[in-house]
Amino acid sequence: MPLDIIVGSQWGDEGKGRMVDLLSAGADIVARYNGGDNAGHTVTVGARSFQLHLIPSGVIHPQPAAVIGNGVVLNPVVLLKEIEMLRQAGIHIDPERLKISHAAHLITPAHLALDAAQEAARGGRKIGTTLRGIGPAYTSKTSRQGLRLGEMRSAETFHAAVRSHVQVVNRQLSRLFDVEPLDPEAIADEYDDYARQITPYIADVTGFLSEALTRGRRVLAEGAQGTLLDLDHGTYPFVTSSNPTAPGALVGLGVGLGHVERVIGVTKAFQTRVGEGPFPTELHGDLATRLRGTGENPWDEFGTTTGRPRRVGWLDCVLLRYAARINGLTELALTKLDILTGLDPLKICTAYRVGDEIYEQLPYGPSDLSPFEPIYAELPGWHSDVSEVRRWEDLPEEARAYLLRIETLSGTPIRLVSVGPERHQVIEIS
């Protein structure tokens, strides 16, 4: 089967970008299926580090075509900047190579204003969104008032549609949130300009993919965010507004069920989260600082999109088991094993406790994790540098034991392990 799907198994930021980069070496098409520029995917090639928000990370390779599917919400300003950044770096992007679904939805300044107003109004119950207008853009979509990219192709009706969309949001901003209204005409003019630049990229993505899959061309579907941020299956309401889980790839690209081969869950060797919401294995103090890094390196635990320090903790295998189930994972790709070097002992959450009850599975999904206390297994750490290791058998025995324990607890084989940010710092396990 020619379709592989890469999903985040945690709360996003698992290092999907670099795994996509690795796996897309053999892909004909790389395809992004959900979210918007709330995502930040970092790919490091030599001295260069690329931060991508919308265009699939696999585009750094010269051969695959790139697709942005209907499941994505797209801020045109960010898209155009990203195209420019890639071109400056010598990466070929044109409408032959990059195709964007006519059914993807646009994010506008009105969505950004609503996101900020809604977060402010939530007070102590705020979600900690990336303030990129994601939730309001998906709300427009599901309330059937959204602006689809396809509308950009007819200049006059598009101008009127943008103007009327801003007028509708203005009423909400002033009546519900007491926020200054935006200028509908100025925004419509601005979007006319984006339409001229983006229209050549608009394509029948489902048709393009269907033909490619039928001909056996390899497609790599790249999710943004992670399983625990899934609107339906994550830690609701502290979630994003799309479906990052594997079935979201089929809906968000418009491809059928029969093409899928591998479903690769990317997980860090520990756990991180940005934004609010429950996090049973969260750590504070020196250990947290040790896992997070200081922010000096691009791979330290600070948000690619917002720069916020990520919350960090021990790996939670109850949640990983859940991710394996929801996505139907066929394998795991584990990132940042090198960060654990020198930490001894290591802990892994194997189950939860509430009073005398032990839970190895979540009884009602992850929405309310607050009553659960993690039960940890302690494992010996390792002290030798693993960043130059390229074969399973060359890993320290304690590192192998750590990985084997994760396989057992998640019920999923680990096929890839990254031991540093560079492309080549990966161990493939057959």
Footprint on this chain of ligand IMP (rule: CB under 6 A): 11-13, 38-40, 127-130, 132, 134-135, 224-225, 229, 238, 240-241, 274-275
Residue 13 annotated to the active site: yes
- For residue 315, the number of C-alpha atoms closer than 13 Å in the C-beta half-sphere is 31
β pairing state of 41-45 and 48-52: antiparallel
Nearest residue (CB) to ligand IMP, 11 versus 208 = 11
- C-alpha 11: how far from chain center: 8
CA atoms within a 13 Å half-sphere pointing along the CA-CB vector of 30: 28
Q: Which two tokens stand for residue 188?
A: 């419509």
Cβ closest to ligand IMP, residue 75 vs residue 170: 75
Q: Which two tokens stand for residue 144?
A: 């059937």
Evaluate whether 219 touches 29 at the Cβ level (below 8 Å). Answer: yes
Distance in Å, CB of 225 to ligand IMP, minimum? 5
CB 379 → ligand IMP: shortest distance, Å? Answer: 27
Query: In the structure encoding, which two tokens stand for residue 40, read together?
Result: 């930040």
Most distant CA pair in the chain: distance in Å? 66
192 has catalytic annotation: no
Q: Which is nearer to ligand IMP, 115 or 338 (CB)?
A: 115
* Structure tokens that stand for 233 in this block: 């299956």
Read off the tokens for 129: 């969104």
Q: Which is nearer to ligand IMP, 13 or 82 (CB)?
A: 13
Cα–Cα distance between 66 and 70 in angstroms, integer?
13
Strands 202-203 and 346-354: unpaired
Residue 240 or 335 having the CB closest to ligand IMP: 240
Q: How far is the CB of 268 from ligand IMP (least distance, A)?
A: 12
- Phi then psi for residue 253, to 5 deg, are -120, -15
Give the CA radius of gyration of the chain: 22
Q: What's the N-to-C CA distance of the chain in angstroms?
A: 19
Kindly write down the DSSP assignment for every residue of 378-401, as one continuous string: EE----S--TT--SGGGS-HHHHH
Q: Which of 37, 41, 105, 230 is catalytic?
A: 41
Nearest to ligand IMP of 56, 135 (CB atom): 135
d(CA 426, CA 422): 8
Characterize the bridge pairing of strands 271-273 and 3-8: unpaired
CB under 8 A, 24+ apart: contacts of 394-400: 395/427, 399/337, 399/340
Classify residue 148 by its DSSP letter. Answer: B
Among 13, 115, 316, 338, the one annotated catalytic: 13
Smallest separation, CB 428 to ligand IMP (Å) = 26
Cα(246)–Cα(221) distance, rounded to whole angstroms? 9
Q: Quick one: 224 or 416, whose CB is closer to ligand IMP? A: 224
Smallest distance from ligand IMP to CB 338, Å: 21
Residue in 313, 293, 409 with CA at minimum distance from that of residue 369: 313
Q: Min. distance of Cβ 165 from ligand IMP in angstroms?
A: 19
Closest distance of CB 259 from ligand IMP, Å = 26
The set of residues, in sequence order, having a beta carbon less than 8 Å from that of 280 and lying 6+ positions away, is 313, 316, 349, 352, 369, 372, 373, 374
Shortest spacing between CB 254 and ligand IMP, in angstroms: 22
- Residue 12 or 184: the one with the smaller Cβ distance to ligand IMP is 12
C-beta nearest to ligand IMP: residue: 275
Residues assigned a catalytic role: 13, 41
